[in-house]
Structure 1
Amino acid sequence: MDCSFHQNQVFHAVESNNSELLLELIQAGHSVNSEGNDLIRPLHEACFRGHGECVRVLLDHGAEVNVRNIDGATPLCDAASSGHVDIVRLLLERGAYVNPPLLLTSPLHEATLRDKWETVEVLAAAGANLNSSDCHFGTPLHVAACQGSIKCSESLLRAGACVNAIKSLNTPLHEAARRQDVSLILLLLACGADVTARNNNGLRPDELVLSSTHPAKRVLIQWQNHPRDLKHYCRLVLRRQIGAKRLLFIPELPVPKSLQEYLDFRFC
């Protein structure tokens, strides 16, 4: 029988979320790693659609967990993009690379781009590179700032993402200023964003806010003209001393909860 027919049967079982049929097909000799259009495999499809039982069946029967499609994306990229947290955890347990090599983007970028903040936290806890740069936006924090995603920005910053990372000398604060997003601007400033940083056009964040009366402009100018209090600088120094790799464990520190929340940007 034509192998493309077998291939289509496997993909159909995955697309319809029929794990029992999928198992029958596999036991009948159908490949779990058959290639569809653009080198998409059944595991890519199951992860993107959030069909967790199909993902488990495929993995249990030899699906390649780090296989790439024509764009270089792995199944973890697809699961992260769709925000399927349980599938992300399962893939990581089965050996998925949280930082796939030679990739133009990353699972963390994909999750951030779709504003899947819970997935961002899972990937960060699994050791995702918080400051890797993709070919378009920059770091995941740049992505979050471009998207105006407060939740993803908070998750990335608490995990230790560099608040002053640059992409074409643009910092996340430049991106937030371009959006005139006051809430995001205040979050980045509280986390140590450099209000005087200049991009490759020589512009500070406040100079990207064209209206002189916009609240975003007033906030940025105020932060330039008024030094922060000691509490602000103490928090930044303490977090730096704790170290990026240990910031996720702040809630476990043997200190009062109020101090944990202070260090973890739970209040500013």
Structure 2
Amino acid sequence: MAAVQTERGSWCQPWERGWTHTHQPHTHQQQACNPLMGGLWSDWTPLHEAALQGRLLVLRKLLSQGFSVRCATVNGVTALHEACAGGHFSCAKTLLEHGADASAVTIDGATPLFNACCSGSPALVRLLLQHSPAHHPAHLLASPIHQAAKRGHIMCVELLLAHGMNIDQELEAGTPLYCACEAQRTDCVHTLLLLGADVNRGRGLDTPLHAAARVGGAREVALLLEHGADGSCRNSEGKRAVELTQPHSKERTLLQNAGPCPLSQLCRFRIRRSLGWHRLDRTHTLYLPQMLHNYLLYR
């Protein structure tokens, strides 16, 4: 606690000199507090506040007054985290130009990239990927691509995959496809499938089809079946996806009427799986008519 008080004291003086009452952060018992931190009071600085609110001029003034760009709260939240959470590109760019750590990690494993995916800003994601690797140990705790998929931020997902993130990375929450199905993000589900996500890989024995059936996602069920989802798979409770649907629901009808795939579909699935998601963009190297190239890519 003494360490926290010492660090906090290092910025109190410039705040008292140049920060007006109207720009003060929220306080509780005279301590600065971050409203996004779930009631945990900490050494949240005016720099954090300016970054979160997107106040670029104020941010620059504070930096010129000597506020440390790398100053973090007791939970590891930096001003760059806040700028990314608010989706403020200019503030994030300014902080990075002044030496902010693009790989800074909070105690929950969140990086600025994770926050940028939460806010759904492709420009911020692109900026951060220029300053930090796409692969980061902290992503196992708070994964940017899982968060982007869950929130339906398609462009963020595409950028992360273009920089080498694993489309089928399975964490405690499942794969990105599983997260998108659970959240009923139809467009994101479609994009992930087109980009080569494993249609049957979800969370342990629970497949994306199980997730879509459970939440009543008829459109997701239809997409998954179109891309070869196996309705006979049983989860850890021994249940097939159809057993998780509501009686007389559209998704139950889709699952009950799903018959064997035609040979052309089976061939498409096999070729796509043989190529793998990271090589689907090379189908043009196959000696096939353009019509078949389009068929392989669902065009």
Q: Structure 1-normalised TM-score?
A: 0.88
**Residues 124 and 156 in structure 1, CA contact (< 8 A), matched pair in contact too:** no
Using the TM superposition, give the Cα deviation of residue 243 of structure 1 relative to its aligned residue in structure 2, in angstroms.
2.3
Match of 2:229 among 193, 199, 202: 193
CA distance, structure 1, for counterparts of residue 86 and residue 188 of structure 2: 22
Using the TM superposition, give the Cα deviation of residue 70 of structure 1 relative to its aligned residue in structure 2, in angstroms.
2.1
**Residues 134 and 165 in structure 2, CA contact (< 8 A), matched pair in contact too:** yes
**Over residues 120-163 of structure 1, what are the superposed CA-to-partner deviations in whole Å (9 max), with x where a residue is unaligned?**
1111121112122232x211111011111111111212222211
Match of 1:217 in 2: 252
Match of 1:157 in 2: 193
Match of 1:238 among 250, 254, 271: 271
Match of 1:130 among 167, 191, 196: 167
Match of 1:184 among 215, 220, 240: 220
CA distance, structure 1, for counterparts of residue 64 and residue 78 of structure 2: 18
CA distance, structure 2, for counterparts of residue 252 and residue 216 of structure 1: 38
**Residues 151 and 185 in structure 2, CA contact (< 8 A), matched pair in contact too:** no
Match of 1:173 in 2: 209
Using the TM superposition, give the Cα deviation of residue 260 of structure 1 relative to its aligned residue in structure 2, in angstroms.
4.3
**Residues 52 and 85 in structure 2, CA contact (< 8 A), matched pair in contact too:** no
> Relative to structure 1, is the Cα distance of residues 219 and 99 closer, same or farther in structure 2, using a 3 angstrom cutoff?
same
> Relative to structure 1, is the Cα distance of residues 50 and 253 closer, same or farther in structure 2, using a 3 angstrom cutoff?
farther
**Residues 85 and 116 in structure 2, CA contact (< 8 A), matched pair in contact too:** yes
CA distance, structure 2, for counterparts of residue 198 and residue 35 of structure 1: 46
CA distance, structure 1, for counterparts of residue 220 and residue 285 of structure 2: 27
CA distance, structure 1, for counterparts of residue 155 and residue 284 of structure 2: 17
**Residues 105 and 111 in structure 2, CA contact (< 8 A), matched pair in contact too:** yes
Amino acid at match of 1:149: R
Match of 1:72 in 2: 109
Using the TM superposition, give the Cα deviation of residue 200 of structure 1 relative to its aligned residue in structure 2, in angstroms.
0.8
RMSD in angstroms over aligned alpha carbons? 2.3
**Over residues 72-115 of structure 1, what are the superposed CA-to-partner deviations in whole Å (9 max), with x where a residue is unaligned?**
100000000110110000000112x3232143231001111212
- Structure having the higher Rg: 2
**Residues 158 and 247 in structure 1, CA contact (< 8 A), matched pair in contact too:** no
Match of 1:148 among 166, 170, 184: 184
Equivalenced residues, count: 261
**Residues 80 and 111 in structure 1, CA contact (< 8 A), matched pair in contact too:** yes
CA distance, structure 2, for counterparts of residue 251 and residue 98 of structure 1: 27
**Greater mean alpha carbon deviation, residues 16-25 or residues 256-265:** 256-265
Q: Structure 2-normalised TM-score?
A: 0.79
> Relative to structure 1, is the Cα distance of residues 126 and 181 closer, same or farther in structure 2, using a 3 angstrom cutoff?
same
**Residues 108 and 142 in structure 2, CA contact (< 8 A), matched pair in contact too:** no
> Relative to structure 1, is the Cα distance of residues 246 and 172 closer, same or farther in structure 2, using a 3 angstrom cutoff?
same
Structure 1 residue runs without a partner (length 5+): none
Using the TM superposition, give the Cα deviation of residue 253 of structure 1 relative to its aligned residue in structure 2, in angstroms.
8.2
Match of 1:10 in 2: 47
Q: Does 1:228 align with 2:261?
A: yes
CA distance, structure 2, for counterparts of residue 230 and residue 58 of structure 1: 55
Amino acid at match of 1:243: G
Using the TM superposition, give the Cα deviation of residue 259 of structure 1 relative to its aligned residue in structure 2, in angstroms.
4.0
Q: Percent of aligned pairs with the same residue?
A: 37
**Over residues 177-210 of structure 1, what are the superposed CA-to-partner deviations in whole Å (9 max), with x where a residue is unaligned?**
1123222111111112111101111111111124
1:98 aligned counterpart, secondary structure:
coil
**Greater mean alpha carbon deviation, residues 248-257 or residues 124-133:** 248-257
**Residues 177 and 202 in structure 2, CA contact (< 8 A), matched pair in contact too:** no
Amino acid at match of 2:229: A
> Relative to structure 1, is the Cα distance of residues 255 and 32 closer, same or farther in structure 2, using a 3 angstrom cutoff?
farther
